[in-house]
Amino acid sequence: MTTALPTADRPRPSTIAIALAGIRERIAASARRAGRAPDAVTLVAVSKFHPQSSVLEALQAGQTVFGENRVQEAAEKFPSLRADWPAMRLHVIGGLQTNKALEAVRIADMIESLDRPSLADALARAADRAGRLPDLLVQVNTGDESQKSGIPRAQADSFITACRQRFGHAVRGLMCIPPAEEDPMPHFRYLADLARTHGLAMLSMGMSADFEAAIAAGATHVRVGSAIFGHRPASPPNGAIPPARLAAPES
């Protein structure tokens, strides 16, 4: 006779834990198909608009790296988790307003959206004041879309060079968000070539819909939100009115 516990008494993995396991498997399979080591790709779990309880579920499932595109929301959800989860890493991934630079520098381990000279100035001042400088990725607007964050293609070379002169090794790589209606692959390849030209190691590219293609093109970081946490609620947890998704900041 077996004496199995009633199903309800056994700890069951959460929906988020199951989704994470599935994404990690797909990342590993894509990496292997590309002849790359599965651990060469870091999963950035994008928890924007989802409550801190969802972040906690992901942490409990072994996820350590998170992405948020609004600094205010990130500041409400993440710093209080640091004490219990010292391995946790927070990436700021969205278009960043210069007046949020100081808060971003205080709370982020990486800022993936360095995309214009005024923001470079603000981050340099913020790093002086905060006494710390997160890792930085230069975001490139590979589709030259007017509504999107990122340095335009034509200015990317000189901007990357200037950022490296100013921030040195803190500049770790490049990030892009290809146009929604296009084949992302040419954009991923362009970004990979640009990183190679500049001797930069990190490439943050690929989201829920296209992270496997991004890994084939060399992504070291994939930013996956809805495939892990489900569809985003219509407004962020604090009830603030969300800015247009992925829209460029004003300054």
On whether the CB atoms of residues 26 and 69 are closer than 8 A, the answer is: no
Q: Whose CA is closest to 24, among 197, 224, 242, 165?
A: 224
Q: Whose CA is closest to 159, among 117, 195, 98, 105?
A: 117
Q: How many CB atoms lie within 10 A of CB 103?
A: 17
> Nearest approach, Cβ of 8 to ligand PLP (angstroms)?
32
Binding site for ligand PLP (CB under 6 A): 46, 48, 69, 93-94, 177, 207-209, 223-227, 246
Judged by DSSP in three states, 162 sits in helix
> Nearest approach, Cβ of 68 to ligand PLP (angstroms)?
9
By Cβ distance, which residue is nearest to ligand PLP? Answer: 225
> Nearest approach, Cβ of 77 to ligand PLP (angstroms)?
15
Identity of the residue, 184 or 218, whose beta carbon is nearer to ligand PLP in the bound complex: 184
> Nearest approach, Cβ of 139 to ligand PLP (angstroms)?
8
Identity of the residue, 46 or 59, whose beta carbon is nearer to ligand PLP in the bound complex: 46
> Nearest approach, Cβ of 192 to ligand PLP (angstroms)?
17
Radius of gyration of the chain (CA): 19
Identity of the residue, 195 or 223, whose beta carbon is nearer to ligand PLP in the bound complex: 223
**Which DSSP helix (H) or strand (E) runs through 210?**
none
Identity of the residue, 130 or 247, whose beta carbon is nearer to ligand PLP in the bound complex: 247
**Which DSSP helix (H) or strand (E) runs through 14?**
none
Q: Whose CA is closest to 73, among 92, 98, 45?
A: 92
Identity of the residue, 5 or 241, whose beta carbon is nearer to ligand PLP in the bound complex: 241
